[in-house]
Chain A
Amino acid sequence: MTAALSIRNLRKTYDNGFEALKGISLEVQQGDFFALLGPNGAGKSTTLGIVSSLVNKSAGEVEVFGHSLDSDKAKAKTCLGVVPQEFNFNQFEKVIDIVITQAGYYGIPRSLARERAEFYLKKLGLWDKRDQVSRMLSGGMKRRLMIARALVHEPQVLILDEPTAGVDIELRRSMWSFLREINAAGTTIILTTHYLEEAESLCRNIAIIDHGRIIQNTSVRELLQQLNTETFILDIDPPQGAVPSLNGYPAKLDDDHTLVVEVEKNQGLSRLFQELAEQRIEVRSMRNKANRLEELFVSLVDKNLATEATR
Protein backbone atom coordinates (compact mmCIF):
# COMPACT_ATOMS: atom_id res chain seq x y z
CA MET A 1 0.00 0.00 0.00
CA THR A 2 1.29 3.48 -0.91
CA ALA A 3 2.38 5.49 2.12
CA ALA A 4 0.28 8.55 2.95
CA LEU A 5 3.50 10.51 3.38
CA SER A 6 6.98 9.49 2.39
CA ILE A 7 9.98 11.68 3.18
CA ARG A 8 13.44 10.71 1.97
CA ASN A 9 16.70 12.35 2.97
CA LEU A 10 15.09 15.75 3.47
CA ARG A 11 17.49 18.61 4.09
CA LYS A 12 16.95 22.27 4.79
CA THR A 13 19.57 24.93 5.27
CA TYR A 14 18.23 28.45 5.79
CA ASP A 15 19.83 31.52 4.17
CA ASN A 16 21.59 32.36 7.45
CA GLY A 17 23.38 29.00 7.26
CA PHE A 18 21.30 27.29 9.96
CA GLU A 19 20.87 23.62 9.08
CA ALA A 20 17.34 22.86 10.27
CA LEU A 21 17.03 19.39 8.72
CA LYS A 22 20.01 17.08 8.27
CA GLY A 23 18.63 14.40 5.98
CA ILE A 24 15.51 13.04 7.65
CA SER A 25 13.52 10.10 6.29
CA LEU A 26 10.19 8.82 7.49
CA GLU A 27 6.99 7.20 6.29
CA VAL A 28 3.46 7.64 7.54
CA GLN A 29 1.05 4.90 6.56
CA GLN A 30 -2.49 5.51 5.29
CA GLY A 31 -5.01 5.89 8.10
CA ASP A 32 -2.33 6.46 10.72
CA PHE A 33 -2.54 8.95 13.57
CA PHE A 34 1.06 10.09 13.66
CA ALA A 35 2.89 12.49 15.97
CA LEU A 36 6.07 14.37 15.15
CA LEU A 37 7.61 15.40 18.44
CA GLY A 38 10.65 17.38 19.35
CA PRO A 39 11.86 20.31 21.41
CA ASN A 40 11.55 23.88 20.14
CA GLY A 41 13.73 24.45 17.07
CA ALA A 42 14.20 20.71 16.45
CA GLY A 43 12.89 20.89 12.87
CA LYS A 44 9.22 19.83 13.24
CA SER A 45 7.66 22.94 11.74
CA THR A 46 10.31 23.08 9.00
CA THR A 47 9.45 19.49 8.05
CA LEU A 48 5.73 20.19 7.96
CA GLY A 49 6.40 23.52 6.21
CA ILE A 50 8.21 21.71 3.39
CA VAL A 51 5.47 19.08 3.12
CA SER A 52 2.86 21.89 2.96
CA SER A 53 4.87 23.84 0.32
CA LEU A 54 5.35 26.79 2.67
CA VAL A 55 9.10 26.25 2.96
CA ASN A 56 11.50 25.48 0.10
CA LYS A 57 13.60 22.37 0.70
CA SER A 58 17.34 22.25 0.11
CA ALA A 59 17.42 18.57 -0.88
CA GLY A 60 15.46 15.33 -0.59
CA GLU A 61 12.13 14.00 -1.75
CA VAL A 62 8.59 14.23 -0.44
CA GLU A 63 5.66 12.17 -1.72
CA VAL A 64 2.04 12.42 -0.64
CA PHE A 65 0.01 9.34 -1.57
CA GLY A 66 2.68 8.57 -4.16
CA HIS A 67 2.53 12.05 -5.74
CA SER A 68 5.90 13.80 -5.72
CA LEU A 69 5.99 17.38 -4.49
CA ASP A 70 8.50 18.06 -7.28
CA SER A 71 6.90 16.44 -10.32
CA ASP A 72 3.24 16.07 -9.36
CA LYS A 73 2.80 19.02 -7.05
CA ALA A 74 -0.89 19.82 -7.69
CA LYS A 75 -2.04 16.27 -6.92
CA ALA A 76 0.18 16.06 -3.84
CA LYS A 77 -1.23 19.37 -2.56
CA THR A 78 -4.81 18.27 -3.20
CA CYS A 79 -4.24 15.30 -0.85
CA LEU A 80 -3.17 17.59 1.99
CA GLY A 81 -5.04 19.77 4.45
CA VAL A 82 -2.89 22.03 6.59
CA VAL A 83 -3.59 23.60 9.99
CA PRO A 84 -0.60 25.81 10.83
CA GLN A 85 0.63 26.89 14.23
CA GLU A 86 -0.04 30.61 13.71
CA PHE A 87 -3.36 32.13 12.67
CA ASN A 88 -3.07 32.73 8.94
CA PHE A 89 -6.46 33.79 7.69
CA ASN A 90 -7.77 37.20 6.67
CA GLN A 91 -8.76 38.89 9.92
CA PHE A 92 -11.24 41.11 8.09
CA GLU A 93 -13.18 38.34 6.31
CA LYS A 94 -16.27 36.60 7.60
CA VAL A 95 -15.85 33.07 8.93
CA ILE A 96 -17.93 31.46 6.17
CA ASP A 97 -16.18 33.44 3.42
CA ILE A 98 -12.78 32.20 4.62
CA VAL A 99 -13.88 28.57 4.34
CA ILE A 100 -15.70 28.98 1.00
CA THR A 101 -12.80 30.92 -0.52
CA GLN A 102 -10.37 28.17 0.47
CA ALA A 103 -12.62 25.60 -1.23
CA GLY A 104 -12.52 27.77 -4.35
CA TYR A 105 -8.72 27.57 -4.39
CA TYR A 106 -9.12 23.80 -4.82
CA GLY A 107 -11.54 24.27 -7.72
CA ILE A 108 -14.64 23.31 -5.72
CA PRO A 109 -17.83 24.91 -7.11
CA ARG A 110 -19.44 27.47 -4.82
CA SER A 111 -22.64 25.50 -4.12
CA LEU A 112 -20.67 22.45 -2.96
CA ALA A 113 -18.24 24.66 -1.05
CA ARG A 114 -21.15 26.23 0.83
CA GLU A 115 -22.54 22.78 1.72
CA ARG A 116 -19.20 21.60 3.02
CA ALA A 117 -18.53 24.84 4.87
CA GLU A 118 -21.88 24.42 6.64
CA PHE A 119 -21.06 20.80 7.52
CA TYR A 120 -17.61 21.48 8.98
CA LEU A 121 -18.53 24.74 10.70
CA LYS A 122 -21.44 22.94 12.38
CA LYS A 123 -19.18 20.03 13.32
CA LEU A 124 -16.69 22.40 14.90
CA GLY A 125 -19.31 24.53 16.65
CA LEU A 126 -18.76 27.64 14.53
CA TRP A 127 -21.95 27.76 12.47
CA ASP A 128 -23.47 30.42 14.74
CA LYS A 129 -20.40 32.57 14.12
CA ARG A 130 -20.43 32.17 10.33
CA ASP A 131 -21.24 35.80 9.59
CA GLN A 132 -18.83 37.18 12.17
CA VAL A 133 -15.58 38.81 11.10
CA SER A 134 -12.82 36.35 11.98
CA ARG A 135 -10.78 38.71 14.15
CA MET A 136 -13.70 38.82 16.62
CA LEU A 137 -13.39 35.07 17.36
CA SER A 138 -11.73 33.72 20.50
CA GLY A 139 -8.38 31.90 20.20
CA GLY A 140 -10.01 28.47 20.38
CA MET A 141 -12.56 29.40 17.73
CA LYS A 142 -9.83 30.69 15.43
CA ARG A 143 -8.05 27.36 15.75
CA ARG A 144 -11.25 25.48 14.93
CA LEU A 145 -11.81 27.78 11.96
CA MET A 146 -8.41 26.76 10.60
CA ILE A 147 -9.38 23.09 10.99
CA ALA A 148 -12.68 23.66 9.12
CA ARG A 149 -10.78 25.50 6.39
CA ALA A 150 -8.23 22.68 6.08
CA LEU A 151 -10.98 20.06 5.75
CA VAL A 152 -13.25 21.82 3.27
CA HIS A 153 -11.61 20.12 0.27
CA GLU A 154 -11.76 16.77 2.13
CA PRO A 155 -8.05 15.92 2.09
CA GLN A 156 -6.70 12.42 2.66
CA VAL A 157 -3.99 13.70 4.98
CA LEU A 158 -4.54 16.34 7.63
CA ILE A 159 -1.44 18.07 9.01
CA LEU A 160 -1.80 19.92 12.31
CA ASP A 161 1.06 21.96 13.73
CA GLU A 162 0.40 22.24 17.46
CA PRO A 163 -3.38 22.33 17.06
CA THR A 164 -4.21 22.61 20.75
CA ALA A 165 -1.57 25.16 21.79
CA GLY A 166 -3.21 27.69 24.09
CA VAL A 167 -6.55 25.89 24.02
CA ASP A 168 -8.37 25.19 27.30
CA ILE A 169 -8.73 21.61 28.54
CA GLU A 170 -12.41 21.22 27.67
CA LEU A 171 -11.91 22.46 24.13
CA ARG A 172 -8.76 20.36 23.76
CA ARG A 173 -10.74 17.22 24.68
CA SER A 174 -13.48 18.08 22.19
CA MET A 175 -10.87 18.66 19.47
CA TRP A 176 -9.30 15.29 20.30
CA SER A 177 -12.64 13.58 19.93
CA PHE A 178 -13.24 15.33 16.58
CA LEU A 179 -9.78 14.33 15.31
CA ARG A 180 -10.36 10.72 16.41
CA GLU A 181 -13.65 10.77 14.53
CA ILE A 182 -12.16 11.96 11.23
CA ASN A 183 -9.22 9.57 11.64
CA ALA A 184 -11.67 6.70 12.14
CA ALA A 185 -13.40 7.81 8.92
CA GLY A 186 -10.11 7.29 7.06
CA THR A 187 -8.21 10.59 7.17
CA THR A 188 -4.52 10.17 7.96
CA ILE A 189 -3.53 12.64 10.66
CA ILE A 190 -0.05 13.99 11.30
CA LEU A 191 0.42 16.36 14.20
CA THR A 192 3.11 18.09 16.14
CA THR A 193 2.47 18.88 19.75
CA HIS A 194 4.23 19.87 22.93
CA TYR A 195 1.57 18.11 24.99
CA LEU A 196 2.99 14.60 25.13
CA GLU A 197 -0.14 13.43 26.88
CA GLU A 198 -1.90 14.42 23.65
CA ALA A 199 0.44 12.32 21.52
CA GLU A 200 0.15 9.34 23.91
CA SER A 201 -3.60 9.56 23.97
CA LEU A 202 -4.22 10.12 20.24
CA CYS A 203 -1.39 8.68 18.20
CA ARG A 204 -0.42 5.19 17.14
CA ASN A 205 3.02 6.07 15.81
CA ILE A 206 5.57 8.66 16.77
CA ALA A 207 8.75 10.14 15.40
CA ILE A 208 10.97 12.24 17.62
CA ILE A 209 13.08 14.84 15.87
CA ASP A 210 15.94 16.71 17.47
CA HIS A 211 18.67 18.93 16.01
CA GLY A 212 17.33 18.16 12.52
CA ARG A 213 17.59 14.38 12.87
CA ILE A 214 15.01 11.69 13.57
CA ILE A 215 16.14 10.09 16.82
CA GLN A 216 13.19 7.76 17.26
CA ASN A 217 10.52 6.49 14.86
CA THR A 218 8.28 3.77 16.18
CA SER A 219 4.86 2.97 17.64
CA VAL A 220 3.76 4.60 20.89
CA ARG A 221 3.49 1.13 22.40
CA GLU A 222 7.05 0.12 21.53
CA LEU A 223 8.33 3.48 22.65
CA LEU A 224 6.73 3.14 26.05
CA GLN A 225 8.23 -0.31 26.42
CA GLN A 226 11.64 1.36 26.34
CA LEU A 227 10.76 3.16 29.51
CA ASN A 228 12.81 1.53 32.26
CA THR A 229 11.90 3.66 35.20
CA GLU A 230 8.67 5.16 36.40
CA THR A 231 8.36 7.67 39.18
CA PHE A 232 5.47 7.31 41.65
CA ILE A 233 4.27 9.81 44.19
CA LEU A 234 2.83 8.21 47.34
CA ASP A 235 0.66 10.00 49.88
CA ILE A 236 1.72 8.31 53.13
CA ASP A 237 0.70 8.12 56.76
CA PRO A 238 2.02 8.59 59.41
CA PRO A 239 4.19 11.61 58.49
CA GLN A 240 7.88 10.78 58.11
CA GLY A 241 10.75 12.90 59.36
CA ALA A 242 13.36 11.09 57.25
CA VAL A 243 13.34 9.06 54.03
CA PRO A 244 12.38 5.48 54.92
CA SER A 245 14.87 2.86 53.80
CA LEU A 246 13.28 0.96 50.90
CA ASN A 247 15.58 -1.79 49.77
CA GLY A 248 16.40 -1.26 46.04
CA TYR A 249 13.92 1.61 45.54
CA PRO A 250 15.55 5.06 45.32
CA ALA A 251 13.25 7.45 47.19
CA LYS A 252 13.02 10.98 48.55
CA LEU A 253 10.54 12.99 50.59
CA ASP A 254 8.81 15.99 49.01
CA ASP A 255 7.27 16.75 52.39
CA ASP A 256 6.57 14.58 55.45
CA HIS A 257 3.42 13.13 53.80
CA THR A 258 4.73 12.76 50.25
CA LEU A 259 7.18 10.08 49.23
CA VAL A 260 8.64 10.03 45.69
CA VAL A 261 9.85 6.57 44.62
CA GLU A 262 11.56 5.42 41.42
CA VAL A 263 10.51 1.97 40.28
CA GLU A 264 12.31 0.03 37.58
CA LYS A 265 10.22 -1.96 35.12
CA ASN A 266 11.49 -5.36 36.38
CA GLN A 267 11.00 -4.47 40.04
CA GLY A 268 7.20 -4.25 40.20
CA LEU A 269 5.24 -2.59 42.96
CA SER A 270 4.39 -5.53 45.27
CA ARG A 271 7.75 -5.56 47.03
CA LEU A 272 7.60 -1.78 47.47
CA PHE A 273 4.27 -2.06 49.26
CA GLN A 274 5.67 -4.95 51.33
CA GLU A 275 8.66 -2.82 52.40
CA LEU A 276 6.35 0.06 53.35
CA ALA A 277 4.00 -2.27 55.27
CA GLU A 278 6.92 -3.70 57.22
CA GLN A 279 7.77 -0.16 58.37
CA ARG A 280 4.09 0.42 59.22
CA ILE A 281 3.74 3.10 56.56
CA GLU A 282 0.29 3.22 55.00
CA VAL A 283 -0.20 4.39 51.40
CA ARG A 284 -3.32 6.58 51.17
CA SER A 285 -3.06 7.28 47.44
CA MET A 286 -0.59 6.98 44.57
CA ARG A 287 -0.01 8.62 41.16
CA ASN A 288 2.57 8.79 38.37
CA LYS A 289 4.90 11.74 38.71
CA ALA A 290 4.70 12.70 35.07
CA ASN A 291 3.29 11.54 31.81
CA ARG A 292 5.18 8.38 30.85
CA LEU A 293 5.95 9.56 27.34
CA GLU A 294 7.27 12.81 28.72
CA GLU A 295 9.87 10.99 30.82
CA LEU A 296 11.00 8.99 27.81
CA PHE A 297 11.02 12.06 25.58
CA VAL A 298 13.22 13.96 28.00
CA SER A 299 15.64 11.03 28.32
CA LEU A 300 15.88 10.57 24.52
CA VAL A 301 16.42 14.27 23.88
CA ASP A 302 19.04 14.46 26.64
CA LYS A 303 20.84 11.45 25.17
CA ASN A 304 20.76 13.05 21.71
CA LEU A 305 22.07 16.32 23.11
CA ALA A 306 25.10 14.45 24.42
CA THR A 307 25.58 12.78 20.99
CA GLU A 308 25.27 16.12 19.17
CA ALA A 309 27.91 17.60 21.47
CA THR A 310 30.42 14.96 20.37
CA ARG A 311 29.75 15.40 16.60
Chain B
Amino acid sequence: MNSREIFIAFWTIVVKEVRRFTRIWPQTLLPPAITMTLYFIIFGNLIGSRIGEMGGFDYMEYIVPGLIMMSVITNSYGNVVSSFYGTKFQRHVEELLVSPIPNWVILSGYVVGGVSRGLGVGLIVTLLSLFFTDLQVHHLFVTVGTVLLTSVVFSLGGFINAVYANSFDDISIVPTFVLTPLTYLGGVFYSIQLLPEFWQGVSMLNPILYMVNTFRYGILGVSDINIVFAFGMLLVFIVALFSYSLYLLQNGKGIRA
Protein backbone atom coordinates (compact mmCIF):
# COMPACT_ATOMS: atom_id res chain seq x y z
CA MET B 1 0.00 0.00 0.00
CA ASN B 2 1.26 3.48 -0.78
CA SER B 3 1.04 6.30 1.76
CA ARG B 4 -2.27 7.62 0.36
CA GLU B 5 -3.88 4.17 0.58
CA ILE B 6 -2.52 3.77 4.11
CA PHE B 7 -4.05 7.10 5.10
CA ILE B 8 -7.43 6.10 3.60
CA ALA B 9 -7.33 2.81 5.53
CA PHE B 10 -6.37 4.61 8.77
CA TRP B 11 -9.10 7.21 8.30
CA THR B 12 -11.66 4.48 7.57
CA ILE B 13 -10.95 2.90 10.97
CA VAL B 14 -11.10 6.28 12.74
CA VAL B 15 -14.41 7.21 11.07
CA LYS B 16 -15.85 3.78 11.88
CA GLU B 17 -14.81 4.16 15.53
CA VAL B 18 -16.15 7.69 15.91
CA ARG B 19 -19.39 6.67 14.16
CA ARG B 20 -19.71 3.80 16.65
CA PHE B 21 -19.51 5.84 19.83
CA THR B 22 -21.59 8.72 18.49
CA ARG B 23 -24.29 6.28 17.26
CA ILE B 24 -24.64 4.90 20.79
CA TRP B 25 -24.27 8.30 22.51
CA PRO B 26 -26.77 7.46 25.29
CA GLN B 27 -24.30 4.74 26.38
CA THR B 28 -21.07 6.61 25.70
CA LEU B 29 -21.45 10.40 25.95
CA LEU B 30 -24.46 10.93 28.18
CA PRO B 31 -23.50 8.86 31.28
CA PRO B 32 -20.20 10.68 32.01
CA ALA B 33 -21.99 14.02 31.59
CA ILE B 34 -24.61 13.00 34.18
CA THR B 35 -22.10 11.40 36.58
CA MET B 36 -19.72 14.36 36.49
CA THR B 37 -22.54 16.85 36.96
CA LEU B 38 -23.50 14.92 40.11
CA TYR B 39 -19.86 15.03 41.28
CA PHE B 40 -19.80 18.80 40.73
CA ILE B 41 -23.05 19.28 42.64
CA ILE B 42 -22.38 16.91 45.53
CA PHE B 43 -18.62 17.05 46.04
CA GLY B 44 -18.00 20.51 44.62
CA ASN B 45 -20.99 22.52 45.81
CA LEU B 46 -22.57 20.75 48.78
CA ILE B 47 -19.59 19.11 50.49
CA GLY B 48 -16.88 21.30 48.92
CA SER B 49 -18.34 24.50 50.42
CA ARG B 50 -17.73 23.00 53.90
CA ILE B 51 -14.23 21.76 53.07
CA GLY B 52 -12.95 25.20 52.12
CA GLU B 53 -9.61 25.42 50.31
CA MET B 54 -7.38 22.68 48.94
CA GLY B 55 -3.89 23.53 47.67
CA GLY B 56 -4.76 27.21 47.85
CA PHE B 57 -7.91 26.91 45.67
CA ASP B 58 -11.64 26.47 46.21
CA TYR B 59 -12.39 22.79 46.58
CA MET B 60 -14.56 22.91 43.42
CA GLU B 61 -11.69 24.49 41.43
CA TYR B 62 -9.31 21.89 42.83
CA ILE B 63 -11.36 18.80 41.84
CA VAL B 64 -12.44 19.96 38.35
CA PRO B 65 -9.13 19.03 36.63
CA GLY B 66 -9.14 15.62 38.35
CA LEU B 67 -12.71 14.91 37.32
CA ILE B 68 -12.01 15.91 33.71
CA MET B 69 -8.99 13.61 33.71
CA MET B 70 -11.02 10.80 35.27
CA SER B 71 -13.54 11.04 32.40
CA VAL B 72 -10.78 11.08 29.81
CA ILE B 73 -9.09 8.00 31.32
CA THR B 74 -12.22 5.86 31.67
CA ASN B 75 -13.64 6.81 28.28
CA SER B 76 -10.43 6.36 26.28
CA TYR B 77 -9.92 2.95 27.87
CA GLY B 78 -13.59 1.97 27.68
CA ASN B 79 -13.92 2.90 24.03
CA VAL B 80 -11.06 0.78 22.75
CA VAL B 81 -11.63 -2.19 25.05
CA SER B 82 -15.31 -2.51 24.19
CA SER B 83 -14.95 -1.71 20.51
CA PHE B 84 -12.03 -4.04 19.81
CA TYR B 85 -13.47 -6.83 21.95
CA GLY B 86 -16.79 -6.43 20.10
CA THR B 87 -14.87 -6.65 16.84
CA LYS B 88 -13.32 -9.91 18.03
CA PHE B 89 -16.57 -11.25 19.46
CA GLN B 90 -18.54 -10.64 16.25
CA ARG B 91 -15.53 -11.83 14.24
CA HIS B 92 -15.44 -8.75 12.02
CA VAL B 93 -11.83 -8.32 13.09
CA GLU B 94 -11.37 -10.73 10.15
CA GLU B 95 -12.29 -7.86 7.83
CA LEU B 96 -9.10 -6.17 9.00
CA LEU B 97 -6.97 -9.31 9.08
CA VAL B 98 -7.64 -10.26 5.45
CA SER B 99 -6.93 -6.71 4.25
CA PRO B 100 -3.45 -5.36 3.51
CA ILE B 101 -3.51 -2.74 6.30
CA PRO B 102 -0.26 -2.76 8.30
CA ASN B 103 -0.73 -3.63 11.96
CA TRP B 104 0.54 -0.25 13.15
CA VAL B 105 -2.22 1.43 11.16
CA ILE B 106 -4.90 -0.81 12.69
CA LEU B 107 -3.56 -0.01 16.16
CA SER B 108 -3.28 3.73 15.45
CA GLY B 109 -6.84 3.80 14.09
CA TYR B 110 -8.26 2.24 17.26
CA VAL B 111 -6.12 4.48 19.48
CA VAL B 112 -7.28 7.62 17.67
CA GLY B 113 -10.86 6.35 18.05
CA GLY B 114 -10.28 6.01 21.82
CA VAL B 115 -8.58 9.41 22.04
CA SER B 116 -11.50 10.98 20.15
CA ARG B 117 -14.00 9.69 22.69
CA GLY B 118 -11.72 10.53 25.62
CA LEU B 119 -11.24 14.10 24.41
CA GLY B 120 -14.89 14.42 23.39
CA VAL B 121 -16.09 13.44 26.85
CA GLY B 122 -13.31 15.58 28.42
CA LEU B 123 -14.66 18.57 26.49
CA ILE B 124 -18.26 17.87 27.55
CA VAL B 125 -17.20 17.63 31.21
CA THR B 126 -15.11 20.81 30.89
CA LEU B 127 -18.08 22.70 29.46
CA LEU B 128 -20.32 21.39 32.26
CA SER B 129 -17.76 22.46 34.88
CA LEU B 130 -18.10 26.05 33.64
CA PHE B 131 -21.59 26.10 35.17
CA PHE B 132 -19.98 25.56 38.57
CA THR B 133 -16.64 27.38 38.49
CA ASP B 134 -14.46 29.72 36.44
CA LEU B 135 -11.79 27.71 34.73
CA GLN B 136 -8.50 29.44 33.91
CA VAL B 137 -5.86 27.61 31.92
CA HIS B 138 -2.50 28.29 33.52
CA HIS B 139 -0.37 26.47 30.94
CA LEU B 140 -2.06 25.53 27.64
CA PHE B 141 0.71 23.27 26.34
CA VAL B 142 0.85 21.25 29.57
CA THR B 143 -2.95 20.98 29.72
CA VAL B 144 -3.43 19.83 26.13
CA GLY B 145 -0.26 17.69 26.11
CA THR B 146 -1.21 15.83 29.29
CA VAL B 147 -4.77 15.09 28.29
CA LEU B 148 -3.68 13.93 24.84
CA LEU B 149 -0.85 11.67 26.02
CA THR B 150 -2.98 10.25 28.85
CA SER B 151 -5.79 9.31 26.51
CA VAL B 152 -3.25 7.64 24.19
CA VAL B 153 -1.86 5.61 27.13
CA PHE B 154 -5.31 4.42 28.21
CA SER B 155 -6.48 3.72 24.68
CA LEU B 156 -3.46 1.44 24.29
CA GLY B 157 -4.25 -0.14 27.67
CA GLY B 158 -7.81 -0.80 26.49
CA PHE B 159 -6.50 -2.38 23.32
CA ILE B 160 -4.27 -4.81 25.22
CA ASN B 161 -7.13 -5.69 27.57
CA ALA B 162 -9.38 -6.40 24.56
CA VAL B 163 -6.76 -8.64 22.94
CA TYR B 164 -6.54 -10.80 26.07
CA ALA B 165 -10.27 -10.74 26.88
CA ASN B 166 -12.22 -13.92 26.28
CA SER B 167 -15.56 -12.73 27.63
CA PHE B 168 -17.44 -9.53 28.39
CA ASP B 169 -16.52 -10.04 32.06
CA ASP B 170 -12.86 -9.77 31.13
CA ILE B 171 -13.32 -6.27 29.73
CA SER B 172 -14.83 -4.93 32.94
CA ILE B 173 -12.33 -6.42 35.41
CA VAL B 174 -9.52 -3.92 34.79
CA PRO B 175 -11.73 -0.78 34.80
CA THR B 176 -13.52 -1.91 37.97
CA PHE B 177 -10.68 -3.34 40.02
CA VAL B 178 -7.66 -1.43 38.73
CA LEU B 179 -8.54 1.82 36.99
CA THR B 180 -11.26 3.10 39.30
CA PRO B 181 -9.31 2.56 42.57
CA LEU B 182 -6.12 4.01 41.07
CA THR B 183 -8.02 7.03 39.78
CA TYR B 184 -9.77 7.69 43.10
CA LEU B 185 -6.44 7.29 44.91
CA GLY B 186 -4.65 9.37 42.26
CA GLY B 187 -5.36 12.72 43.86
CA VAL B 188 -8.60 13.54 42.06
CA PHE B 189 -10.32 14.64 45.28
CA TYR B 190 -7.37 15.48 47.51
CA SER B 191 -3.76 16.58 47.62
CA ILE B 192 -1.36 13.84 48.70
CA GLN B 193 0.15 16.42 51.08
CA LEU B 194 -2.80 15.55 53.34
CA LEU B 195 -1.58 11.97 53.68
CA PRO B 196 0.92 10.61 56.22
CA GLU B 197 4.45 10.33 54.80
CA PHE B 198 4.22 6.56 54.27
CA TRP B 199 1.03 6.82 52.20
CA GLN B 200 2.49 9.71 50.26
CA GLY B 201 5.29 7.36 49.23
CA VAL B 202 2.82 4.64 48.28
CA SER B 203 0.79 7.15 46.27
CA MET B 204 3.90 8.07 44.28
CA LEU B 205 3.78 4.54 42.80
CA ASN B 206 0.39 5.26 41.24
CA PRO B 207 0.91 6.44 37.63
CA ILE B 208 -2.52 8.10 37.53
CA LEU B 209 -1.40 10.49 40.27
CA TYR B 210 1.18 11.91 37.85
CA MET B 211 -1.37 12.34 35.06
CA VAL B 212 -3.96 14.04 37.28
CA ASN B 213 -1.41 16.32 38.87
CA THR B 214 0.22 17.31 35.61
CA PHE B 215 -3.19 18.19 34.18
CA ARG B 216 -4.02 20.12 37.36
CA TYR B 217 -0.74 21.98 36.97
CA GLY B 218 -1.75 22.91 33.42
CA ILE B 219 -5.01 24.42 34.67
CA LEU B 220 -4.28 25.69 38.18
CA GLY B 221 -0.50 25.92 38.23
CA VAL B 222 -0.15 23.66 41.32
CA SER B 223 1.06 20.09 41.46
CA ASP B 224 2.24 17.46 43.96
CA ILE B 225 4.76 16.00 41.51
CA ASN B 226 7.52 16.87 39.03
CA ILE B 227 5.95 17.80 35.66
CA VAL B 228 8.95 16.90 33.50
CA PHE B 229 9.15 13.47 35.11
CA ALA B 230 5.40 12.98 34.50
CA PHE B 231 5.75 13.79 30.78
CA GLY B 232 8.73 11.45 30.50
CA MET B 233 6.74 8.69 32.20
CA LEU B 234 3.79 9.19 29.83
CA LEU B 235 6.08 8.93 26.80
CA VAL B 236 7.73 5.77 28.17
CA PHE B 237 4.29 4.23 28.78
CA ILE B 238 3.20 5.07 25.23
CA VAL B 239 6.30 3.56 23.63
CA ALA B 240 6.10 0.41 25.78
CA LEU B 241 2.36 -0.15 25.35
CA PHE B 242 2.41 0.62 21.61
CA SER B 243 5.29 -1.82 21.07
CA TYR B 244 3.59 -4.53 23.11
CA SER B 245 0.25 -4.02 21.32
CA LEU B 246 2.02 -4.30 17.95
CA TYR B 247 3.72 -7.49 19.10
CA LEU B 248 0.33 -8.95 20.06
CA LEU B 249 -1.18 -7.98 16.70
CA GLN B 250 1.82 -9.36 14.84
CA ASN B 251 1.45 -12.70 16.59
CA GLY B 252 -2.31 -12.74 16.23
CA LYS B 253 -2.77 -13.21 19.97
CA GLY B 254 -6.48 -13.76 20.61
CA ILE B 255 -7.45 -12.97 17.03
CA ARG B 256 -5.82 -15.66 14.87
CA ALA B 257 -5.80 -19.43 15.36
Q: Assuming the A-B contacts A54-B97, A90-B92, are A49 and B257 also in contact, with contact meaning beta carbons closer than 8 angstroms in the complex?
A: yes
Question: What would 16 more interface pairs be, CB under 8 Å, given A53-B98, A105-B9?
Answer: A53-B97, A54-B98, A54-B256, A56-B251, A77-B98, A77-B100, A84-B94, A87-B91, A88-B91, A88-B94, A92-B23, A102-B99, A105-B12, A106-B99, A107-B2, A107-B9
Which one of A91, A102, A104, A149 contacts B90 once the chains associate, using CB atoms below 8 Å?
A91
When distances are taken between beta carbons in the complex, the residues of chain A under 8 Å from B92 are: 88-90
Cβ proximity bits B1-42 to A, threshold 8 Å, 1 near / 0 not: 110111011011101100000010000000000000000000
Size bin of chain B's contact surface: 20 to 34
Q: Assuming the A-B contacts A82-B98, A88-B94, are A74 and B257 also in contact, with contact meaning beta carbons closer than 8 angstroms in the complex?
A: no
Asked if A90 and B6 make an inter-chain contact with CB atoms under 8 angstroms apart, the answer reads no
Closest 7 CB pairs between A and B? A107-B5, A104-B12, A74-B100, A105-B99, A88-B91, A77-B100, A55-B257
Cβ proximity bits A77-119 to B, threshold 8 Å, 1 near / 0 not: 1101010101111111000000001101111111000000000
Asked if B5 and A102 make an inter-chain contact with CB atoms under 8 angstroms apart, the answer reads no
When distances are taken between beta carbons in the complex, the residues of chain B under 8 Å from A52 are: 94, 97-98
When distances are taken between beta carbons in the complex, the residues of chain A under 8 Å from B4 are: 107
Asked if B257 and A14 make an inter-chain contact with CB atoms under 8 angstroms apart, the answer reads yes
User: Is B96's CB within 8 Å of the partner chain A?
Assistant: yes
Residue of A nearest to B5 (CB): A107
A49 vs B92: C-alpha distance in the bound complex, in angstroms?
A: 14
Asked if A104 and B11 make an inter-chain contact with CB atoms under 8 angstroms apart, the answer reads yes
Q: Interface of chain B, helix or strand or loop or mixed? A: helix
* B254, chain A: closest CB distance, angstroms: 12
Asked if B252 and A56 make an inter-chain contact with CB atoms under 8 angstroms apart, the answer reads yes
A109 vs B97: C-alpha distance in the bound complex, in angstroms?
A: 20
B residues 59-98 in Cβ contact with A at 8 Å = 87, 90-92, 94-98
User: Is B148's CB within 8 Å of the partner chain A?
Assistant: no
Q: Assuming the A-B contacts A74-B102, A88-B90, are A101 and B252 also in contact, with contact meaning beta carbons closer than 8 angstroms in the complex?
A: no
Asked if B9 and A106 make an inter-chain contact with CB atoms under 8 angstroms apart, the answer reads yes
Which one of A56, A88, A109 contacts B8 once the chains associate, using CB atoms below 8 Å?
A109
Cβ proximity bits B94-133 to A, threshold 8 Å, 1 near / 0 not: 1111111110000000000000000000000000000000
Asked if B8 and A89 make an inter-chain contact with CB atoms under 8 angstroms apart, the answer reads no
Residue of A nearest to B11 (CB): A104
When distances are taken between beta carbons in the complex, the residues of chain B under 8 Å from A78 are: 1, 100
* B73, chain A: closest CB distance, angstroms: 26
User: Is A75's CB within 8 Å of the partner chain B?
Assistant: yes
User: Is A73's CB within 8 Å of the partner chain B?
Assistant: yes
A residues 168-219 in Cβ contact with B at 8 Å = none
* A82, chain B: closest CB distance, angstroms: 5
A75 vs B98: C-alpha distance in the bound complex, in angstroms?
A: 11
When distances are taken between beta carbons in the complex, the residues of chain B under 8 Å from A105 are: 9, 12-13, 95-96, 99-101
A74 vs B3: C-alpha distance in the bound complex, in angstroms?
A: 13
